[in-house]
Amino acid sequence: MPATVLVLVETINDYLPILERQGFHLILAPTPAERAQAIVTHGSRIDAVLTRGPLGLNADEIAALPALKIITVIGAGYEQVDLQAASDRGITVTNGAGVNASSVADHAMAMLLALVRDIARCDAAVRRGEWPKIMRPSLAGKRLGILGLGAVGMAIAKRAALGFDMQICYHSRQMRSDVPYAFCSTPTELARAADFLIVATPGGLGTQHLVTRTVLDALGPNGFIVNIARASVIATADLISALEQRRIAGAALDVFDHEPHVADALKALSNVLLTPHVAGLSPEATQGTVELVGKNLMAFFSGEPVLTPITLPPRLNDQRVH
In a domain, 8, yes or no: yes
Alpha-carbon span 16 to 14, nearest angstrom: 6
CATH of the domain at 156: 3.40.50.720
Q: Which long-range contacts (CB under 8 A, 24 or more apart) does 12-21 make?
A: 12/74, 12/286, 12/289, 12/290, 14/286, 15/286, 15/287, 15/290, 16/290, 18/287, 18/290, 18/291, 18/294, 19/290, 19/293, 19/294, 19/297
For residues 115 and 167, membership in a common domain is answered with yes
Q: What is the pLDDT of residue 204?
A: 83
Q: What is the pLDDT of residue 160?
A: 98
- Which residues have CB under 8 Å from 122's CB, separation 6+? 132, 134
Which of 96-100, 186-190, 294-298 bottoms out in mean pLDDT, i.e. has the lowest?
96-100
For residues 50 and 140, membership in a common domain is answered with no
For residues 81 and 177, membership in a common domain is answered with no
Got the DSSP string for 131-169? ---------TT-EEEEE--SHHHHHHHHIIIIIH--EEE
Residue 319 reports pLDDT greater than 60: no
What count of other Cβ atoms lies within 10 Å of the Cβ of residue 103? 23
Q: What is the pLDDT of residue 6?
A: 98
In a domain, 315, yes or no: no
- pLDDT band with cut points at 50, 70 and 90 for residue 297: very high
Instruction: Write the CA distances from 110 to 64, 115, 156, 175, 188, integer angstroms.
Output: 42, 8, 11, 27, 25
Residue 97 reports pLDDT greater than 90: no
Residue 77 reports pLDDT greater than 90: no
Overall number of domains in the chain: 2
In a domain, 308, yes or no: no
For residues 5-18, give the mean pLDDT.
Answer: 95
- pLDDT band with cut points at 50, 70 and 90 for residue 1: low
Q: Return the higher-pLDDT residue of 158 and 206.
A: 158
189 is catalytic: no
- pLDDT band with cut points at 50, 70 and 90 for residue 321: very low
Residue where a domain stops, chosen among 274, 292, 309: 274
For residues 40-57, give the mean pLDDT.
Answer: 96
244 is catalytic: no
Share of the chain above pLDDT 90, in %: 92
* Mean pLDDT over the full length of the chain: 95
For residues 113 and 84, membership in a common domain is answered with no
Instruction: Write the CA distances from 47 to 7, 24, 25, 68, 268, integer angstroms.
Output: 11, 10, 10, 4, 45
176 is catalytic: no
Residue 115 reports pLDDT greater than 50: yes
For residues 147 and 290, membership in a common domain is answered with no
266: domain range? 101-274
Element (H, E) at 130: none
In a domain, 29, yes or no: yes
In a domain, 91, yes or no: yes
Q: What is the pLDDT of residue 19?
A: 97
pLDDT digits 0-9 by tens, 193-246: 999 999 999 888 889 999 999 999 999 999 999 999 999 999 999 999 999 999
* Annotated catalytic residue, options 259, 284, 304, 320: 259
Residue 57 reports pLDDT greater than 80: yes
For residues 291 and 219, membership in a common domain is answered with no
Q: What is the pLDDT of residue 287?
A: 95
Residue 263 reports pLDDT greater than 90: yes
For residues 225 and 251, membership in a common domain is answered with yes
Q: Is 227 helix (H, G, I), strand (E, B) or coil?
A: strand
In a domain, 203, yes or no: yes
Residue 27 reports pLDDT greater than 80: yes
For residues 38 and 179, membership in a common domain is answered with no
- Which residues have CB under 8 Å from 162's CB, separation 6+? none
- Which residues have CB under 8 Å from 282's CB, separation 6+? 100, 102, 103, 106
- pLDDT band with cut points at 50, 70 and 90 for residue 188: very high
For residues 55 and 117, membership in a common domain is answered with no
For residues 107 and 94, membership in a common domain is answered with no
In a domain, 248, yes or no: yes
For residues 179 and 222, membership in a common domain is answered with yes
In a domain, 266, yes or no: yes
Q: What is the pLDDT of residue 320?
A: 47
For residues 37 and 56, membership in a common domain is answered with yes
